[in-house]
Amino acid sequence: MKIDYKKNINRSVLKLFFAFVLIITQSIFFYSIWIFYYNELLRIPYLMKGNYFVTGIYAIVFLIFMIVFDSTKFGDEKITNSIFSFFLTNFFTNILIYFVVIIPTYSRGFVAITPLIKTAIKQEIFIIIWLLFTNMILSKLFPPMPILLISNKNSIDNILFKFNKKDTIYNVVDKIDSEKPIDDIVNKCNKFSNVIIGDINSNKRNDIIKYCFSNSINTFVIPKLSDIIIKNSSTIYVSDTPLFLSVNDGISFFDVLIKRFFDIVISIVSLIIFSPIFLIISMLIKFEDGGRVFFIQKRVTKDCKVFNIIKFRSMIDEDSEKVIPTSKNDIRVTKIGNFIRKTHIDELPQLINVLIGDMSIVGPRPERIEHVNIYKNEIIEFQYRFKVKAGITGLAQIYGKYNTSAYDKLKLDLIYIKNYSILLDIELILKTLKVLFAKEKTEGFDFAQTTHIMNNA
Counting residues of the chain whose pLDDT is more than 70, the rounded percentage is: 89
Dihedrals phi, psi of 6, to nearest 5 degrees: -95, 25
- 49-78 pLDDT, tens digit per residue, is 889 999 999 999 999 999 999 888 888 888
How high does pLDDT run on average in the chain? 86
Long-range contacts formed by 266-272: CB under 8 A, 24+ apart: 266/354, 266/361, 266/429, 267/351, 267/352, 267/354, 267/355, 267/361, 268/355, 270/348, 270/351, 271/351, 271/352, 271/355
pLDDT of residue 22 exceeding 90, the answer is yes
C-alpha to C-alpha distance for 324 and 106, rounded to whole angstroms: 58
pLDDT of residue 4 exceeding 50, the answer is no
Mean pLDDT of 290-317: 91
**Between these two residues, 119 and 4, which has the higher pLDDT value?**
119
pLDDT (0 to 100) of residue 378: 87
pLDDT (0 to 100) of residue 47: 79
Instruction: List residues bridging with 150 in a β-sheet.
Output: 176, 197
Q: How confident is the model at residue 109 (pLDDT cuts 50, 70, 90)?
A: low
CB 152 within 8 A of CB 205: no
Work out the number of other CB atoms within 10 angstroms of the CB of residue 116. 20
CB 185 within 8 A of CB 170: no
* CA 347 to mean position of chain CA atoms: 17
Q: Which residues of 69-92 are buried (b: 16+ CB within 10 A; e: fewer)?
A: bbbbebbbbeeeebbbbbbbbbeb
Q: How confident is the model at residue 153 (pLDDT cuts 50, 70, 90)?
A: confident
Q: How confident is the model at residue 7 (pLDDT cuts 50, 70, 90)?
A: low
Which residues touch 128 (CB under 8 Å, ≥6 apart)? 83
Q: Indicate the Cα dihedral angle 407, 409, 412, 414, nearest 10°.
A: -60
CB 142 within 8 A of CB 75: yes
Instruction: List residues bridging with 308 in a β-sheet.
Output: 298
Q: How many residues are there in the chain? A: 457
pLDDT of residue 336 exceeding 70, the answer is yes
Dihedrals phi, psi of 180, to nearest 5 degrees: -65, 155
Whether the pTM exceeds 0.85: the reply is no
- 246-285 pLDDT, tens digit per residue, is 887 788 899 999 999 999 999 999 999 999 999 999 999 9
pLDDT (0 to 100) of residue 380: 87
Mean pLDDT of 2-18: 71
Long-range contacts formed by 96-101: CB under 8 A, 24+ apart: 96/61, 97/30, 97/57, 97/58, 97/61, 101/54, 101/57, 101/58
- With left for phi above 0 and alpha for psi between -120 and 50, is residue 175 left, alpha or beta? beta
pLDDT (0 to 100) of residue 124: 95
Which residues touch 434 (CB under 8 Å, ≥6 apart)? 69, 70, 84, 85, 88
pLDDT of residue 296 exceeding 90, the answer is yes
Domains detected in the chain: 8-141 (no CATH), 145-222 (3.40.50.11060), 253-456 (no CATH)
Dihedrals phi, psi of 81, to nearest 5 degrees: -65, -40
- 74-93 pLDDT, tens digit per residue, is 888 888 889 999 999 999 99
**Between these two residues, 48 and 3, which has the higher pLDDT value?**
48
Report the greatest alpha carbon distance in the chain: 79
pLDDT (0 to 100) of residue 363: 95
pLDDT (0 to 100) of residue 441: 52
pLDDT (0 to 100) of residue 352: 96
pLDDT of residue 369 exceeding 80, the answer is yes
DSSP H/E element including 323:
none
pLDDT (0 to 100) of residue 1: 40
**Cβ neighbourhood burial of 270 (10 Å; 0-12, 13-18, 19+):** middle
pLDDT (0 to 100) of residue 342: 84
DSSP H/E element including 143:
none
The interaxial angle of helices 369-378 and 447-456, nearest 10 deg, is: 90
Least confident of 31-35, 41-45, 236-240, 405-409: 41-45
Instruction: List residues bridging with 384 in a β-sheet.
Output: none
Least confident of 105-114, 142-151, 438-447: 438-447
- Please report, as a single letter, which amino acid is at residue 234: S
In angstroms, what CA-CA distances link 131 with 8, 82, 311, 435? Answer: 19, 8, 39, 20
* CA 158 to mean position of chain CA atoms: 20
